[in-house]
Chains A and B, each alone.
With several copies, the nearest count.
Chain A
């Protein structure tokens, strides 16, 4: 299945794109997708330990199961306010 991933802030700067589609096996979890993302965008590994992940607009753990309707977002610690 194809999963759309959004990149924000420094994650967007490092990848050079604000959105990218990844192909993962049906039934994959966020961890599986993350592995694909780091393969395509190894530059993200420099901030990988701080990255936050959201699925359909909710903060999610790496064991979150994805579907082809999932919108995933990847971003560094927030700094609004």
Chain B
């Protein structure tokens, strides 16, 4: 399951999609919107994607993860649009024969997604400021960055 969605992410479905009788371990990662980062209070986030390229990159990540780790199955679902504090922005699930591999693969997948997949977030603060979050540019730290 590799998907962009504007709807609430059903992480139960994401998780079930990777379960396999050959796997002894499943790891699910959820990125969730933090309300407070340092002294900044987040009102909401807006996630924008370059959809065709984002889907292609997510498939490439899944394929590369399967080469790096002994993975049975991978699922990556990212939400776009407007999200509030506590909402799930991304769900990544992976199943492997043994548990250490599942944690390693899950961490590699979210780290790589945040480096490569063309999705951006714009943060709206409760004091009215609105900033695009672009690592390396000078925008203030955002409620979801880094998670």
Contacts and interface: CB of A to CB of B under 8 A. Distances in A.
A–B touch (CB < 8 A): the answer is yes
A34 B124 CA distance: 31
Given A9-B134, A10-B134, A13-B132, A78 B119 contact: yes
A50 B136 contact: yes
Contacts of A47: 134, 137
Contacts of B31: 81
Given A9-B122, A73-B53, A81 B113 contact: yes
Interface string A10-50: 10010000000000000000000000000000000001001
B35 interface: no
Given A8-B120, A50-B136, A76-B137, A81 B114 contact: yes
B120 A79 contact: yes
Interface residues of B, number: 33
A76 B118 contact: no
Given A8-B118, A9-B122, A79 B53 contact: no
B51 to A, nearest CB: 10
A54 B135 contact: no
Contacts of B90: 80-81
Interface in B57-75: none
Interface string B87-119: 001100000000000000000001001111111
B15 to A, nearest CB: 18
A76 B78 CA distance: 19
A81 B118 contact: no
Contact of A80 (B52, B117, B132, B136): B117
25 contacts: A9-B120, A10-B132, A50-B136, A50-B137, A54-B118, A57-B52, A58-B56, A75-B50, A76-B132, A76-B137, A78-B118, A78-B120, A78-B135, A79-B114, A79-B133, A79-B134, A79-B142, A80-B47, A80-B54, A80-B78, A80-B89, A80-B113, A80-B114, A80-B120, A81-B119
